[in-house]
Copies of this chain bind each other. A is one copy, B any other.
Amino acid sequence: MTSLAMINAAAKRLKGHARVTPLLSSPFLDDLAKRRILVKAECLQHTGSFKFRGGWSALSALDKSARAKGVIAYSSGNHAQGVAHAATLHGVPSVIVMPSDAPQLKIENTRALGAEVILYDRASEDRDAIGLALASERDLTLIKPFDEPQVIAGQGTVGLEIAAQAAELGVTSGEVLVNCGGGGLTSGIALALEAQAPQMQVRTCEPDGFDDAARSLISGNIERNSRSSGSICDAILTPSPGEITFPIMKRLCGGGLVVSEDEALHAMALAFLRLKIVLEPGGAISLAAALFHGDELTSEVAIVVATGGNVDPVIFTEALRRFT
């Protein structure tokens, strides 16, 4: 179980390796949202998303002999790149199991970051079986994307930075809006803030039709999405919150926020215009919630975690065309 001590220990291991990303703002966004908006720009993290933190935390927590044998991860996106880069920087091999229909650019990037990419056919092959066979054959350690205490601890370092950076601006309370897939980042930040900024509360942000976290927080049980694809917010289309992450979320998070894909694209365009950062749709949901769902917020300050920027240029161009 992830504790504050584990998050603090992860922060020490990450120091000098992960970036302390800036907390950005713009008077134009404040005016639009009618409250103060602070944006934690994790798109500027290594590999373009917060996932590098969890990858580095997990890698650096392994004992040396296990680490030397290498790691394996399943991912078609940001977790793949985060783990691959963290492994390469540790000088150890990584194997990433990706669906053969993943975007070619993501496959190429993951390879370029030093991973061995194993492709499988989503329709006919079982990802877990392939992964388990490889892990056992080569004695690799599996790094799960969210339901893994050291990954949660790594993502939780975002919460430590938010508490410290907001305090420098005189902000000690507010709602912290987090894009939520399996809940690794959400639960890690919630644990960090419980200790470091107890007057801040985390709220999950999801796209329409993939609101498993919001529904789970209402029912008190882990609820599932009815589909697993069909959104431009590919970074956060996890079937449900995790077995480890959800109890933390249930204890600490406020109600979930749900936004439309158009609102996410609009938020991407405003982040381009006003903050000069690049967000992917799944990384802009939280900003969309702050800008367009202000009536569902209660605090004077909304702290938005902008989780990633690995977006297809065609989708980014569409956001600019429609919303600038």
Contacts and interface: CB of A to CB of B under 8 A. Distances in A.
Interface of A: 16, 19-22, 24, 27-28, 31, 41, 43-44, 48, 85, 109, 112-113, 168, 269, 272-273, 275-279, 309, 313, 316-317, 320-321, 324
A29 to B, nearest CB: 12
Contact of A27 (B16, B113, B277, B278): B113
B44 A277 contact: yes
B324 A276 contact: no
B276 A48 contact: yes
Copies in the complex: 2
A236 to B, nearest CB: 17
Given A22-B44, A276-B277, A313 B309 contact: no
Contacts of A48: 276
Nearest to A88: B27
A27 B309 CA distance: 16
Given A22-B22, A272-B278, A324 B313 contact: yes
Given A21-B22, A113-B27, A44 B275 contact: yes
Contacts of A31: 112
A272 B27 CA distance: 24
Contacts of A276: 43-44, 48, 277-279, 309
A276 B279 CA distance: 7
A112 B44 contact: no
A112 to B, nearest CB: 7
Nearest to A24: B44
B272 A313 contact: yes
A113 B27 CA distance: 8
